[in-house]
Amino acid sequence: MEGLHGKPVRHLMKIWLDGTLSDIGALPISSMAHALHYGTGVFEGIRSYSAGPTECFVFRLKDHVTRLLRSADTLGLTLSFSLNALQMAVLDVLAVNALKDAYIRPLVFVGEGAMGLDIHSGPINRIHTLIAAWEWRSYFGIDGRGLSVKVGEWKRCFPKSGLNETKASGFYIDSFLAHLDAKRTGFDDAIMLDDNGSVAEATAANVFVVHDGRLLTPRTESALPGITRDTVIAIARELGVVVEEGEVCVEQMLEADEVFLTGTACEVAAVTKVNEAIVGTGHVGSLTETIAKSYQRIVRNRLPLRVRQDTNQWWTPTRVMARREFDSGIKYT
């Protein structure tokens, strides 16, 4: 099995499925799982960070699991695990795989049963919950250089309000195609537009634009309200930077002093080229760099945020230990 950029996912050894930890090759998942055919699943992307030899934290674990449960609820999927049990399960996956700096992928999906779209009046489809984790250092794999993005024709339109808050597997076909088109034409990623032709978000990240020292970001009607976006807004306010959430048009992006993307996987990633236009000086901008550095300290619980009162639950200590010593004994229901 390979991870991103062709590198093997060496640590992806044990996966948590419905309360049991199994070797990746021994998972009892049917090829007739509904989600495989229709994309009926919801997922999360979470990161853990080591903060020195003895400390390791999962960043904003509760917020991610809460969003997972909300996404599942939007699709009418009922899980047999509580918010607390899922948080414990994440810690178990990290421990059993001896992972510290990890990317964690919970996935709730519709299993085998009815094969049509109606899963409520025929055979029962089991709702599965899976948690995997692996080392995934750099999402874009670009080693510190700025990203080039293509503002293509791809739109991020949610036909029903509230759906933008759902991380549903099926939504990612648009992102996949927009990203594919960007890569095929020599860019690192694509910017997707909203219904009015304004900037919505990147294929798996939110977008920020710097103009005259102010930070602009699109509202979230046509974008996922990213947890990193929220963290970055808090960091910027802490730095005394004015943050405006509103319409961001393509011209503002082309003429911006700085542009960056935010997401759990890509963290804070500078954009130095939009279509054929060079952004600012063509190098990582100073505000982007300051925010990216602060972000790296915050995720490791090294920088208190004074302006926000609700951050005390952002860091969940892990109990990573050697795999052979692992025996959680935890009951998940």
The residues carrying an active-site annotation are 167
Binding window for ligand PMP (CB under 6 A); candidates: 10-18, 177-185, 222-230, 270-278: 222-230
97, 206, 222, 318: residue in contact with ligand PMP (rule CB under 6 A): 206
Residue 146, interface with ligand PMP (CB under 6 A)? Answer: no
40, 166, 169, 264: residue in contact with ligand PMP (rule CB under 6 A): 264
224, 235, 270, 298: residue in contact with ligand PMP (rule CB under 6 A): 224
Interface characters, 160-189, with ligand PMP (x: CB under 6 A):
---------------x--------------
Binding window for ligand PMP (CB under 6 A); candidates: 115-123, 135-143, 220-228, 243-251: 220-228
34, 105, 229, 300: residue in contact with ligand PMP (rule CB under 6 A): 229
Instruction: Give the span between the Cα atoms of 88 and 104, in whole angstroms.
Output: 13
Taken in order 165, 302, 240, 279, the sign of the CA dihedral is negative
How far is residue 239 from each of residues 92, 234, 306, measured CA to CA in Å? Answer: 36, 9, 10
Strand partners, 14: 23
CB of 133 to ligand PMP, least distance (A): 15
Q: Which residue is nearest to ligand PMP (CB)?
A: 226
CB of 264 to ligand PMP, least distance (A): 3
Given a contact cutoff of 8 angstroms between Cβ atoms, the answer to whether 170 and 40 are in contact is: yes
Compute how many residues bind ligand PMP; rule: CB under 6 A: 15
Query: Between β-strands 243-246 and 214-218, what pairing exists: parallel, antiparallel or unpaired?
Result: parallel
CB of 169 to ligand PMP, least distance (A): 11
Residue 45, interface with ligand PMP (CB under 6 A)? Answer: yes
Beta strands in the chain (DSSP E): 14-17, 20-23, 41-43, 46-50, 56-59, 102-110, 127-134, 147-155, 189-193, 199-202, 206-211, 214-218, 243-246, 258-263, 267-274, 277-278, 315-317
> What's the start-to-end Cα distance of the chain, in Å?
31
Binding window for ligand PMP (CB under 6 A); candidates: 17-25, 109-117, 147-155, 202-210: 202-210
Extract the tokens encoding 158.
Answer: 């949610």
CB of 192 to ligand PMP, least distance (A): 8
CB of 225 to ligand PMP, least distance (A): 8
User: Which amino acid belongs to residue 190?
Assistant: A
Burial string for 190-215 (b: 16+ CB within 10 Å, else e) reads bbbbbeeebbbbbbbbbbbbbeeeeb
User: Which amino acid belongs to residue 298?
Assistant: I
Residue 205, interface with ligand PMP (CB under 6 A)? Answer: yes
Which residues here bind ligand PMP, judged by CB under 6 A? 45, 175, 201, 204-206, 223-224, 226-229, 262-264
